[in-house]
Each structure stands twice: as structure tokens, then as C-alpha cells.
Structure 1
Amino acid sequence: MTVFILVAGAFTGAHVWRETAARLTAEGRDVHAVALTGLDASRPAAPSVRVDLETHIEDVLAAIDAVDPGREIVLVGHDYGIHPALGAADRRARRVARLVYLDSAMPRDGVPALAAVPDQTLRGELAERIRRDGHDGELAPPERDAWARWGSTAGVSGAALDRLTALAAPQPLGTLCTPLRLSGAVADVPVTGVLCTGNGASVELVQRLVDFGDPALAALTAPGTGFFELPTGHWPMLSRPADLADVLLRAAAGEGHRLRPAGTDATPAHLRPFPLDVPVPAREREGHVDLYVPDTEGPLPAVIVVHGGPVPAGARPTPREWPTLVGYACLAAAEGVVGATLDHRLHDVADYGRAAEDVAAAVELVRADPRVDADRIALWFLSGGGLLAADWLAEPPAWLRCLAASYPILAPLPNWGLADSRFHPARAVADADAGELPFVLLRAGLESPEIAATVEAFVTAAEDCGARLELIDLPQGHHGFETLDPPEETRPALLRGMRSVIGHLKG
């Protein structure tokens, strides 16, 4: 018989599992929700004890060791709870039949839980506090309206949120700054990932990351690894307890979506052909920028194509060589202007600052080329690169004649920790200066709900402030429609979008 050992996240205790545990028990399973020292009211810390990650690993080890050796253990870690769960599973790899990552990060050896704090502003503040005051002390739990800094509260009722807040406990700083130490034994434990789509995660997104070929993600395609999605926010044990129990039962049975290993598909989506057959001028490489210059007397306007992400640092070829980006640049060249692609360092959601620096440097490099009219520039953003449009909307220079975007993310996703950052186009578009800048938006009708919500927020803000927004809809278009959808459906939108952008450049 399966025994479920449940480890809760930051500020919370065994109480959060009440409804899910009851469902599992009703199905005949034994359930043990771990009371973490200093976080759970039933296990207070002694005044002289310094609570850190090792303390919580020991709590989980005690729960594992209390199970009869002949029984199968499914160990579930939510949020911060995956760190002590993973540490314990590494030391009891033969006892744990399956490790479930419940809407959590993928901790690595030597990295503290602080690195997984989703709100980047808060993470920086905590890092500074730890540098200044050391590892002792506590982090106060969130107020009722501040839980969203730790994950989406979508689906959590008002009563459940009240209870979560009332029972929350301060998080000992030592649990966040103690590095996780792994021997590697846990690599043999089968894994299930449960992704909460309302918090910005999805199986499709993880598959895209795997397709980039990052070796660090290869383990996600192992035969024993499965994935499930739950259409809710970061606390499914509060918002969808019955559905979570069902998913955990299926995980224990070895079910779940299997990811396709990189290279097993004949051609991954990001390397499939561009749908328009356009001439490809000779590529000219300068630094992190590739130029495609038409055989036309200049100086000429330029369209600079900005890729999305995050893209693993080891992805090859790099984005500026992907058929879609090259296709946009060559389409621009075919229409009589300079096309440019670039690589930027958006390898993680924490990298938007340096990615913005790379884009700004690329723009200046393109503008400095004598064949380019430095006063007539357009920027075209794709996917996660859409957040980088915020800077240009907030303070558009006179030489920037147009912005464009295809299936962009236009507000930070809930689990990206960027809600208070400057990378928020849906806010930036409401700025008075941004209202004068044309924005051509190619909108995918079959976009994921989480990304579609950011686009709608942007469109609403743009319409409210009278921004010069042109919408080009692809009702049957998916995210990445250039290489996923039938060419006959995407070609008209691509041509219309590019010609509109060039019209703004030449007008």
C-alpha cells in the first residue's frame, strides 16, 4: 500500500494538506503531512535551536523512517518543501518510490532555496539582509494581499486565503540560505512534475525548453518521469484539493505525460522552416548581431527582430540563426529594408535586465551601420521577448518609428517574480509618450490562457489610452504559429504585419 508523505512550502504547515489528505485517505492510502520544525504549530523550535534546511531535511527523514520498510513511499514537495523533500530523498533513495515536484523549482546541489524565491525584488532584499545580518532571524509571513508575491492565488477562495494567512508562520532565514547538498543518489528515484498552469507553468513550455537541447533538462525525459497539469494557481491543495489528490494517485501509479527527448523529433518546432519563401541575402555578422541587407541603395530603414525566451545558454544553434528569426529579417530585406537578428542573454527569468542591455547594444550597432538610416528603426519582439518592449514604450526615442510583436508575453507571468519590475508592457503602454508610437500586434487565437491574459491586459490598456495599436488576428494561430500552423494561414498575417511596419518606417 502506498504511503504519501506531504511536505508544505514556505510559511505553511501540515494544515494546508487537510482536504487533499482526506481525499487520499478515503481512497485507502495512508498520508503523513510533515510538521516542519519552527513552521508548524505542532513542532515549535526550541529557543536555543537554529532552524535551517538541514533541520527540515531531518524532519522529512524521520517521516520516511517511520514507514514500514515494506511499503511504498510517494514523497511530495510543494514550493519550498521540495528542498527538504529532495534532500531527504537523496539520503533515502531506496525507500522513496517516487518524488513529486508540486509546482516547485528544480533545486540543484549547492544552491540555497533563496534562489527559488519567485519575486526578484524580494529575493534581492533577502539576499542583502542575509549579507548584512547573517543567517539568523525570520522572514515574516505575507499579509493576506501579499501571497501573490510567492505564487498565483488563482482559485483560492477568500475563506481559504484567510485561513492560510491566519495559520502562516515566520520562515526561518536559515532554511532559505543553507545550500542544498545532494550526493546524486536521488537521480535514481522516479519523478513526477505537477505544473499549475495558473502560475505560468505548462507541459508545453517544459517541452520547448527540452527541445532546445539543454543537457541539464535531459533528465526530464527519463522513462520514469511524468508530468501533469492542474488549471489553477500555486496552491492547488487549497484551490483544487480533489483534483490534486487524483493527480497524486495517478502519479503513484506511474502515469503522466512523457516528454520527448531533444533530437527525437525529426525537426523541433523552433528549427522548422519559415512559412514564406523569401530570398536570403548574404548574412553579415557583427558581434551578437546578424544583418541581412538588400541590394538597394541606402541608407535604409531597419527592422530588428528580438527573440523570446528564456533560452538555455547552451542552445545550438543560437536564436539569431533560427529559421523564424532569419525569416522575419529576410522578409524585411525582401520588402526593401535592412533586417537584423540578434542573440541576447535571456537564459532565465532573472536575466531580463542584461537581455535589455544586449538589445539596446544591438540597436546601436545596427544604427551605426552606414547602410542603415539611423532615424528609421523598428523593433519586432517574439514570445517572451515581449517584456523587453516595455523600455521602448516607456521612453521611445525619436528614431524609433514602430514596435511590433508576434504572440508576445506582455505582462510578467505569475511565477516569474517580475510583477513590480519595469518589464511590464501592459503598464508601460499607458504612458503618454507611448501613445504616439505605432504598435503592430500579431495575436494568436489559440494562445495559452495565461499568455493570452497578458495580451488582453495590454490591448485594454492601449485602447484606454488611445495608443496607436494595430491588431492582426490569427484565430487558429498557436504560440509560435510560423512553424506550427499551416503556411496558408500564417502567410497573410506575416505579410500584412511586415508591410504595416515598413509603412510606418517609410511614412
Structure 2
Amino acid sequence: MTVFILVSGMFTGPHVWEETAAHLASAGAEVRAVALGGLGGTTGTAPADIDLETHIADVLAVIDSVGAAGGGEIVLVGHDYGIHPALGAADRRAGRVERIVYLDSGMPQDGIPALAAVADQSLREELAERAVLVGDGEVLPSPDRHEWQRWGSTAGIPDPALDRLTALAEPQPLGTLFQPLRLTGAAASTAVTGVLCNGNGASIEMVQMLVGFGDPALQALTAPGVTFFELPTGHWPMLSLPAELAEILLRAAAGEGHRLVAAGSAEPPAHLRPFVLDVPEIPRERTGNLDLYLPGAGGPRPAVLFVHGGPVPAEALPTPRDWPGLVGYARYAAGQGLVGAILDHRLHDMADYARAAADVAAALDLIRADPRVDGDRVALWFFSGGGLLAAEWLRLPPEWLRCLAASYPVLVPLPGWGPVDRRFRPVEAVAEAGTLPVLITRVGREMSGIAATVEEFLDASRACGAAVEVVDVPHGRHSFETLDPTEESREAVHHAMRSVLAHLEV
């Protein structure tokens, strides 16, 4: 018999698993939900005495109780913060745990505290300020009903379930969040399954994209014992899709699931496939982190700066300005009489948007100062996660910025993305865009979380009367210019470029 040991996340206890546990039990599995200290377990223990090691001990006690009873194969499931004590326990009982399931959680590393994985320094300081003293220890107050969204998407949770989640939530002892996780690596060979929740900003496609960038830290995700599933819901699938989650956990226990393709395999990743159009072989001119593709036409010409998405690992090779899709766009622009420009900006982590924005601003200064460029006629074109950088230019745009384009963009920080500075919210900045023409290329087969940000932006733009044009690619995917070599894709690229060109030629 498979024994599922379920470890809940911040502020929550065993009650969140009730429906999923019932479905697992009806399928013949044994289920044990762990009561963590201060969150449904060790009643009366002072917060000062509760830290991550306390919670690891709680999980170990359940693992050992299964062994004492002669139980079957253990599948250890950690949701959100719960993956930290789950991994700590698996590391100490590596031979006893058959599989670890990361349920819409991060990938904790040795020596890193839980809060560091989900918050930047400013948020950590804010949370420390919100902490309250209980006895000799501090706790983080549990969220009000409207605050849960801050910790993850609440998409799909029925109102009664959200009310109950709020009513039963308990303050989180700060020691559980600030104490570093200690791992020896003993469980490194244990089989792993990741369950990603699309509504919280995660998807198999996105993880595969990151693996394709060549980040060495992610290559372990392509090992034979690693599988993935995804659910079309928010961060609490045990409340929004309990039956579906149970089915996935059963399949995970059976070794099923999607397997990622390693970087350097026979099929190139999406970002290294050929551009959808045949474009002129215009050479680049490289200066620092900026490449220019110059048109044959004489005289100062309008320019368009193509801004890649991300985050892209700092070690990724080739870097974005050598990706066929971006090079294709820049050469296409140059063939139309524009100066096409691409830069490598430093968006390597969710906390890097500010320095990536500084890189974009510096590149624009260089481009506008170039005598071959008409500095009064410039466009910006953002892609994917780079879309958040558009907020800087939607907010009171300069007169020389004639157009802002964004292809399959992220226009609101996704709930599971963690530390993104508040200023990078195009959905709010569009109210200050005035008459700036904005062009959005929207793909029909977009990841649900990203698609929702585009619709939120379009709603906001209609409400404020912004000048927004939409180019639809009904059958296109994220990165359709290299993934979907169809006539529909080609026409969408042509349409978007014609629109940008028209605004620059005015």
C-alpha cells in the first residue's frame, strides 16, 4: 500500500487536505496529514520553541510511525512552505521515502531559509515589522481573507473554502521561516514529482524553457526519476481541485508524469529554433551588451529596441541577443528601413527587474545618441517576462517614444513569482500612457496565468481609454515565432511590424 504523508504550507494545518485525503483513501491509499508545531500540532508549545527543526521533527515522527506499523511505500508531499520540513525529513530518512512531491513549491537548497525563497529583502523586513510577540517568540499573523492572494493565487477556491481557510489559519512562528534548511544530500537520488499550478504562474512549458537555457542547476530536473504534472488552478489545489489533485498524486506514486528534455538534446529548445520568416542576412554591430542591425537606407533612421524576456540564467549560452527569434526581428526591422537593436539585460532573477530596467534605459540613451538613429523616433518591443519592464515607459512616456509593443507579455507579476518591485506593473501604469500607441500580440494557446495578465491589462486600458491595438494569433503558443512555423504566425509578425513601422514613420 502507498502511504501519502501530506505536509501543508504557511498558516495552514491538516484541515486543508481533508477532501484530497478522502479521495486518496477511497482509492485504497493510506493518508497521513502532518500537524506541524503551532499550525495544528504541539498544542501549547510557545512560538519561541518552534522553528524549522521542530517541523522537520514533526514530519520525521510520522515517517517513523509508518515504519513502526510496517507500512508501505511513502510518498511525501510538501505544499508551499511545507516542502522545507518535508525535504529536511526526507534527507534524514532517505531510504524510507519512495518519492517526494513538490506541490506548487520552490526548490529549497541547503543553507537557505524558507522566507528567502519567496521574498526579497524589503518584503522580509516588512514581514518582520508585522510580526507580533507571543510569549518569548514572534509569529507572523495569519492573512485576512483578502490577503491570501499575496501568498499565492486563490483562483478556483470556492468562497466557503476560502472562508474556512481564513477561519482556521494560525500565525506562523517566525523561526520556521528564518532558520536555514540543512541538507546533506542523502535524498538526492529519491524520485521526485513536481505538481505545478498554472494559475499561480507555473507550467511545465515554462520549466522546460528554463531548462533549455542551459542553467546547470536545473539539469537535475531532466533525470529519469523526475516527473511533472500541472493543474489549471491557483496555489491551493487541495481546496480548488481536490479530486484532480488526488488523481495526480496517485499517478505520481505510480511513476507517471511528463519528463523534461535535457538542454543539448537532439531537438533544440524553443528559443533556439529558426525564426518563422526568411529575413535578410544583415550583419550586426556589437558594442558592449548592445547589438545594432543597420538598414541600407541613408540618413538618420527610426529605431526599435527589442527587449527579451526572462528571467534568463546568467550562465545561459547563447545569450538572448543571439537567439534566432530576436535576431530575426531585428533583421526584419532593418530590412524595413529601421535600426533594429537587441540588448542583453540583467534579468537573471525575479528580484532583478530594477537593474534590467536600468539596462534598458542605458541602451536607449546609446541608441538615441547614435548619429545613424533619429533619436526622436524610437519604439520599444518587449517579450514574455520582459513585459513587466514596459511599466517604466507607459508611465508618462517621453515624446520620442512613438510606440510600445509587447508580444505574449506578462503584464502583472504572477502570484508565484515572489519578489517583483511594485513599480513593474504595466496594468497600473497604462493609465498614465496618454496617447502612446501600444501594440499587444496575444497568443491563443498561452499559459493561463500569463493570459490572465494580458486580459487584465486590456480591461485597464479600455477603462482609461489607452490607444491599444491587439494582434491575435489564435493557434499560437508562447514564443510562437520559433515554435509555430505557420502562415498564421508569419502574418501576425508581419502585422505587428507594419503597425510599429507606421507609428515610427509618422
Cα distance in 1 for partners of 2:395, 2:415 equals 22
Structure 2 CA distance for partners of 1:124 and 1:394, relative to 1, 3 Å: farther
Cα distance in 1 for partners of 2:491, 2:162 equals 47
Q: Deviation per CA, 1:412-459, whole angstroms, max 9, x where unpaired?
A: 22212468812111221122xx13101122221222222222112222
Correspondence for 1:10: 10
Correspondence for 1:476: 475
Correspondence for 2:439: 440
Correspondence for 1:355: 356
Correspondence for 1:26: 26
Matches within 5 A, 1:402-417: 402-417=403-418
Aligned-partner residue type, residue 477 of structure 1: G
Q: Deviation per CA, 1:391-411, whole angstroms, max 9, x where unpaired?
A: 100120111111111111122
Contact 2:354–2:421, Cα closer than 8 Å, also in 1:
no
Matched, 1:111 2:109: no
Cα distance in 2 for partners of 1:193, 1:47 equals 34
Contact 1:153–1:235, Cα closer than 8 Å, also in 2:
yes
Q: Could you tell which deviates more after superposition, 358-367 or 171-180? A: 358-367
Correspondence for 1:78: 79
Q: Deviation per CA, 1:368-389, whole angstroms, max 9, x where unpaired?
A: 2221122111000111111111
Matched, 1:333 2:372: no
Q: Could you tell which deviates more after superposition, 412-421 or 150-159? A: 412-421
Structure 2 CA distance for partners of 1:382 and 1:120, relative to 1, 3 Å: farther
Correspondence for 1:194: 195
Deviation of 1:279 after TM superposition, in Å, equals: 1.6
Aligned-partner residue type, residue 24 of structure 1: L
Deviation of 1:486 after TM superposition, in Å, equals: 2.3
Aligned-partner residue type, residue 424 of structure 2: F
Q: Deviation per CA, 1:302-331, whole angstroms, max 9, x where unpaired?
A: 100000111122110000110111111111
Aligned-partner residue type, residue 307 of structure 1: H
Matches within 5 A, 1:54-133: 54-68=53-67, 71-117=72-118, 122-126=123-127
| Partner SS state of residue 427, structure 1 | helix
Aligned-partner residue type, residue 280 of structure 1: E
Give ranges in structure 1 of 5+ residues lacking alignment.
none
| Partner SS state of residue 37, structure 2 | coil
Contact 1:45–1:51, Cα closer than 8 Å, also in 2:
no
RMSD: 2.1
Deviation of 1:463 after TM superposition, in Å, equals: 2.3
Q: Deviation per CA, 1:159-215, whole angstroms, max 9, x where unpaired?
A: 111111111111111111111111111111100111111111111111111111111
| Partner SS state of residue 66, structure 2 | coil
Structure 2 CA distance for partners of 1:141 and 1:503, relative to 1, 3 Å: same
Deviation of 1:465 after TM superposition, in Å, equals: 2.1
Correspondence for 2:494: 495
Contact 2:232–2:448, Cα closer than 8 Å, also in 1:
no
Correspondence for 1:251: 252
Q: Deviation per CA, 1:342-376, whole angstroms, max 9, x where unpaired?
A: 11111222221221111111111211222112211
Cα distance in 2 for partners of 1:65, 1:33 equals 14
Cα distance in 1 for partners of 2:384, 2:47 equals 51
Contact 1:119–1:416, Cα closer than 8 Å, also in 2:
no
Contact 1:377–1:400, Cα closer than 8 Å, also in 2:
yes
Cα distance in 2 for partners of 1:123, 1:289 equals 35
| Partner SS state of residue 456, structure 2 | helix
Contact 2:351–2:420, Cα closer than 8 Å, also in 1:
no
Cα distance in 1 for partners of 2:268, 2:183 equals 35
Deviation of 1:136 after TM superposition, in Å, equals: 4.4
Contact 1:117–1:123, Cα closer than 8 Å, also in 2:
no
Correspondence for 2:144: 143
Matches within 5 A, 1:56-455: 56-68=55-67, 71-117=72-118, 122-126=123-127, 136-417=137-418, 421-431=422-432, 434-455=433-454
Structure 2 CA distance for partners of 1:375 and 1:80, relative to 1, 3 Å: same
Aligned-partner residue type, residue 21 of structure 1: A
Cα distance in 1 for partners of 2:351, 2:66 equals 40
Cα distance in 2 for partners of 1:45, 1:78 equals 25
Deviation of 1:120 after TM superposition, in Å, equals: 8.0
Structure 2 CA distance for partners of 1:32 and 1:421, relative to 1, 3 Å: same
Cα distance in 1 for partners of 2:6, 2:378 equals 54
Contact 2:37–2:45, Cα closer than 8 Å, also in 1:
no
Q: Could you tell which deviates more after superposition, 64-73 or 384-393? A: 64-73
Contact 1:306–1:385, Cα closer than 8 Å, also in 2:
yes
> How many pairs align?
502
Deviation of 1:127 after TM superposition, in Å, equals: 6.0
Give ranges in structure 2 of 5+ residues lacking alignment.
none
Aligned-partner residue type, residue 162 of structure 1: D
Structure 2 CA distance for partners of 1:496 and 1:122, relative to 1, 3 Å: same
Structure 2 CA distance for partners of 1:207 and 1:296, relative to 1, 3 Å: same
Cα distance in 2 for partners of 1:451, 1:23 equals 31
| Partner SS state of residue 410, structure 2 | coil
Aligned-partner residue type, residue 12 of structure 1: T
Contact 2:142–2:172, Cα closer than 8 Å, also in 1:
yes
| Partner SS state of residue 292, structure 2 | strand
Aligned-partner residue type, residue 336 of structure 2: E
Contact 1:76–1:99, Cα closer than 8 Å, also in 2:
yes
Structure 2 CA distance for partners of 1:487 and 1:225, relative to 1, 3 Å: same
Aligned-partner residue type, residue 65 of structure 1: D
Cα distance in 2 for partners of 1:238, 1:266 equals 38
Cα distance in 2 for partners of 1:414, 1:126 equals 17
Q: Could you tell which deviates more after superposition, 385-394 or 456-465? A: 456-465
Identity of aligned residues (%): 68
Deviation of 1:71 after TM superposition, in Å, equals: 2.2
Correspondence for 2:46: 47
Q: Deviation per CA, 1:227-259, whole angstroms, max 9, x where unpaired?
A: 111111111111111111111111111111111
Contact 2:351–2:421, Cα closer than 8 Å, also in 1:
no
Contact 1:381–1:406, Cα closer than 8 Å, also in 2:
yes
Correspondence for 1:38: 38
Aligned-partner residue type, residue 502 of structure 1: L
Contact 1:118–1:149, Cα closer than 8 Å, also in 2:
no
